[in-house]
Amino acid sequence: MSNTKQRIIEASVRLFNENGLDSVRLQQIAEEVGISVGNLAYHFKNKEAIVESVFEQVFEEFDTIFRQYLVSPNMTDFDLQIADFYAFFTKNHFYLSEFFKSNSVTPPHFQQWQVGVTKMMIQLRSRLQFLSMKGDLQPEIQSGQYEIVAEQIWMSLVFFVPKSTMTGQAINMTNYKKSVWNILKPLFTSQGQQEFNATILPQLYW
């Protein structure tokens, strides 16, 4: 992709985050990038084309995070994935606000988003299974327990940014990671606790 095109997409994402998907005009995007509207029209036919490209990039980034699953068997592997999710959801939080509009219109690319989100949930569930098989997490007390835990983690990963905005808490990586690890903490075995203390804890409370 050409440099200008990439710059336009990045500026659009910034503006969508600030003002919402609908209220951004082409003029604003052109000003943000520092080019004329005519030049913008040369790269993208209309706003739909820009939105299309933005979503293409968003889903590409989303898929990239999934490819990081179990690169190494340690807890740091999950920690790195959480960091990726943080970067993704802080950068692209405009999409979530589409769901909370009063006119209940399905947001664009809803199906693709659903596929991604289902993938995310399945990965979290199998991550918990893996950690439990490895001996870092206690075995399930009742079947389906980790399914609920996975859902809790999922909610924390997805809705941390809106939640922090609502409550006025600071949005930073450490708080984001804490919110996830705090869910897992009570489930650690002594082996898991040791690994957590050695590798993850130092970066959460330095």
By the criterion CB under 8 A, which residues form the site for other proteins?
69-70, 73, 112, 115, 118-119, 122-123, 125-126, 129-130, 133-134
What's the CA gap between 178 and 184, in Å, rounded?
A: 10
Nearer to other proteins, 7 or 125 (CB): 125
Nearer to other proteins, 4 or 129 (CB): 129
Give residues with Cβ within 8 angstroms of 163, minimum separation 6.
169
Min CB(112)–other proteins separation in Å: 7
Min CB(73)–other proteins separation in Å: 5
Nearer to other proteins, 15 or 153 (CB): 153
Min CB(52)–other proteins separation in Å: 10
Min CB(30)–other proteins separation in Å: 26
Nearer to other proteins, 70 or 148 (CB): 70
Min CB(63)–other proteins separation in Å: 9
Nearer to other proteins, 80 or 171 (CB): 80
Query: What token pair was written down for 40?
Result: 């913008």
Q: Which among 190, 192, 191, 171 has a CA at the least distance from the CA of 181?
A: 192
String of b and e for 32-70 (b: at least 16 CB within 10 Å)? bbebeeeebeebbeebeebbebbbebbbeebeebeeeee
